[in-house]
Amino acid sequence: MAYIRNLSFHQEITPAQWRTLLAAMLGWMLDAMDVMLYSFALVSIQQEFSLSGAQSGLLTTAMLFSAAIGGTLAGYLADRIGRTRVLMGSILTYSLFTAAIATASSFEQLLFWRVLVGFGLGAEWSAGTVLVAESWPAKHRGKAIAITQSGWAIGYILASLLAAAILPAYGWRPLFAIGILPALLTLWIRRAVPEPKVWSASAPRQPLGILFRPPLLRYVVVSISMASLILFAYWGLFTWVPAYLASPVEKGGAGLSVVRSTGFIIPMQLGALAGYLSFGFLSDRFGRRPVFVGFLLGAAVVTYLYGGLAQSPGLLLALGPLVGFFGHGYYSAFGAILSELFPSGIRATAQGLCYNAGRVFSAMAPAGIGFFADRQGIGAALGMTAAFFALGGLLIFGLPETKGRDLT
């Protein structure tokens, strides 16, 4: 009976709360689509500009550095001018500059536009997750963040479908040009999505220094360490998965074409979608910590098998949904746990700082994995990320259980 009641939670949610959730989820979904277009176009871009693996990884590494800056700044601004305004600004940023990538004629120009895309990528998460966390009731917060986060898997699938439809016939530039379309979402958000009642322009703001004094200092240090390890594993793995599937066997890849690899990516992202949603329901039922640890240890095992041991297309296809399920599902924890650790006046700032400081470390992952891929093969390099998943998962025991906390 408790499980049935858990599934019928939608009856307790207001239309305004659903609109808030939809806005954040669509923003994150289209963010994923724009960002992952690069991963699917990577082989074509490498060929046109004669890029090494390290150079190709640097384009994502630089984007993640700028995302860390954008996300940290967005959290600070969201505490002062509002969550919804910053969400709209982030969507406009990543949309416009994704489209600008289509005009690049050199490695330097690619790098410049990718850096600007990163500012929007980081800002969207910082604004969107705190907006949802403060708008939804405490007992359903994990589900709400999970549904929001599931937009990433849908956006990833959209990117793969667009790549399969556009890349072989038209090349990579039209693929990026359509990245401007998410900007239209801001027109609806402006009319339909209010600021959460927990936050208001007249509410007292906490000084930034409070994050560097007990008891919040411990939360900040552990959260940054946890995010650093896990995001390193995530970006190191999933930036290179499309290239791994499409690269020749002699380079350590799976030897599939771009079109054929789409048939492997979509099951993986359907697994990711199931992982996001499962984590939300499970963490609202059993708590954030035990579910988080279970997902990260699962990610470590299946990632090692996928990159280090899988040899046949059949095995890769079978493992793909598990890699998606465990390698993405835990992501729903970041928005829920970080929002529940910090007070309202500094909440978005703290979330932006902790998550995006971790992103600074993770920014080394795409270039680092590319470096090892040039020497050991892409598959072996991907298998290395398993250790980062496992270590990051264990750090959750340095934080309190936050399930059900009232943010007011």
Q: Give 106-141 as a 3 state SS string.
A: CHHHHHHHHHHHHHHHHHHHHHHHHHHHHHCCHHHH
Where is average pLDDT lowest: 77-91, 198-212, 274-288, 360-374? 198-212
Inform me whether the pLDDT recorded for 233 exceeds 50.
Answer: yes
Mean pLDDT computed over every residue of the chain: 87
Distance, in Å, from the CA atom of 56 to the CA atom of 54, rounded to the nearest integer, reads: 5
Q: Is the pLDDT of residue 4 over 60?
A: no
Highest-confidence segment of 187-191, 303-307, 372-376, 393-397 = 393-397
Of 156-165, 252-261, 387-396, the poorest mean pLDDT is in 252-261
| Residue 115 predicted with pLDDT over 70 | yes
At residue 252, the pLDDT reads: 62
Residues 38-62: what's their mean pLDDT? 85
pLDDT of residue 203: 56
Average pLDDT over residues 212-226: 94
- pLDDT score of 3: 43
pLDDT score of 65 more than 50 = yes
Q: What residues have CB less than 8 Å from 391, skipping those under 6 apart?
A: 229
| pLDDT for the residue numbered 202 | 47
Task: Report how far residue 54's alpha carbon sits from residue 46's, in angstroms, rounded to the nearest whole number.
Answer: 11
Confidence (pTM): 0.81
198 has a pLDDT exceeding 50: yes
User: What pLDDT score was predicted for residue 354?
Assistant: 93
Q: Considering only residues 313 and 85, tell me which one the structure prediction assigns the higher pLDDT.
A: 85
pLDDT at 231: 92
**Among 110-114, 332-336, 391-395, the least confident range:** 332-336
The lowest-confidence range among 102-116, 188-202, 225-239 is 188-202
- What is residue 221's predicted lDDT score, i.e. its pLDDT? 96
Which domains are delineated in the chain?
Answer: 15-193+209-398 (1.20.1250.20)
**How far apart (Å, rounded) are the C-alpha atoms in residues 75 and 347?**
8
Task: Read off the pLDDT of each residue in 181-199 and give the average, rounded to a whole number.
Answer: 88
As given in the structure block, the two tokens for residue 57 are 């990884």
Tokens at residue 30, please? 């289209």
201 pLDDT more than 60: no
Tens digits of residue pLDDT in 314-326: 888 889 999 999 9
Distance (Å, whole) CA 242 – CA 226: 26
Which alpha helices (H) appear in 305-346, and where do they start and end? 313-329, 332-341
